[in-house]
Structure 1
């Protein structure tokens, strides 16, 4: 009997559902009230200029390589080194200025510097760099000779700053220039060699001579300072010709002596 009652109830429910008007299932979604969503963020403004920069050079001669990540100038606007420094006369490049405007590098010769740069643009002198190539090595394997008369120093300089290299003489930092710009050299001051033992005694005005297959250049000491071992800002590429020398500080492992000398004009 109960089974019959349950069956009748289920049938009634099914009939009631089927009899529900279809219109009862319709629904609408009203538009949201004003302010529920943010204003459109699209910008139809066209940022276009037809002003053509003066003396523009889009060739690889004017191309600049960005500085390495984490280097002292990695966050400096428009900093870098020439992509093809061998295509530019080094004396001329030392005075060239470059301004970035989004359309290319504006290279301004020395005679026009200061007058041909577009107003409001930032400019900088192009850093100099000479790569170490096979033809720059002497038969003995060195790259040149460093002389500092004030401390009686005359030492051969080899490529690299590892222990084996510094056991032969002074060592050239591989990532720095060998001629134009900033030439960086390290040396021992005790132990297997004592090349830079008196480096910290140099004074402003002392002469430093660097001789390579590219020529001989004389520098004048401008600073002698103690820097942290982790401070590599002194090895950054420069717009002028200079030489930067490093050696350890006795009993202070976390420091280095840094001597910088600029070319005597």
Structure 2
């Protein structure tokens, strides 16, 4: 028993010797040293050039196209044409007044910009709106005096529209530009059955809520069934009539007329 107590006491002494005070668990850290940064290179000094006026324009709108290599003016200061002449006051080389904007083409590097002013003519288009319908549900009346034809034009080219009269291609204009209209060439409603017999110069008349317009035929042709170019918008007022070709499903008759 005495030996056991002696051993226990010795163990307690060893544990007491290895124990650490609570203050040993506290840690302190110092921040890192200040970074070694280079000196700032920005310079707020305002410099004024003395050899030329301070307000000389040195931006893009004052740039010149360099003269041809080896030419007499190749080493002459400020020789050549302006790179952007439209940015020089009163020097626009081409204008479009229809939209109020300005279109400018840079001059040719050959040294002359005369005649290269550029031009742009916008296409015409009038969308179908509710106020353009007549009380009978149609958009207008098409007349071809040579054929004795007078038919109402309805929106769309589906079976229902063509059953009632001629059909207006919904993707095309209804007044300004290219007005495209389809019709049957056979059956009870074969309104367009004879359009391929029209001659150049014949008259086509279209009346809508926007007025009456007379057109003069300038083209009578047979086109492929997949040819939709005749429906493209136009820069002039034209009318396009399209119908099937009897017994030739791969083709269509197309008549186009221009406003008189």
Q: TM-score normalised to the size of structure 1?
A: 0.58
Separation in structure 1 between the aligned mates of residue 195 and residue 175 of structure 2, nearest angstrom: 21
Q: 2:85 matched to which residue of 1?
A: 51
Asked if the contact 1:225/1:257 (under 8 Å) is kept, the reply is yes
Q: CA RMSD in A?
A: 2.6
Structure 1: gaps of 5 or more residues: 1-45, 64-97, 103-116
1:123 corresponds to: 119
Contact 2:93 2:117 in 1 (8 A): no
More strand per residue: 1
1:205 aligns with 2:201: yes
Q: Check the 8 A contact 2:239/2:256 in 1, yes or no.
A: yes
Structure 1 counterpart of 2:145:
149
**SS in structure 2 of the partner of residue 123 of structure 1:** coil
TM-score by length of 2: 0.59
Contact preservation (8 Å) 2:178, 2:236: yes
Query: Deviation digits for residues 119-178 of structure 1, max 9, x if unmatched?
Result: 535423221111111110101110000000111100000111111111111011111111
Aligned twin of 2:210: 214
1:241 to 237, 240, 243: 237
Aligned residues: 170
Q: Which has the higher contact order (CA 8 A, sep 6+)?
A: 1
Distance of 1:261 and 1:51 partners within structure 2: 42
SS at 2:196 equivalent: helix
Q: Aligned equivalents of 1:165 and 1:263: distance in 2?
A: 26
| Conserved 8 A contact 1:155-1:169 | yes
Q: Which runs of 5+ in 2 are unaligned?
A: 1-59, 64-82, 87-91, 107-112
Rounded Cα–Cα distance in structure 1 between residues aligned with 2:190 and 2:239? 20
Q: Aligned-pair distance for 1:191?
A: 2.5
Moved over 3 A (4+): 46-50, 54-58, 60-63, 98-102, 117-122
Distance 1:179 1:229 in 2: 25
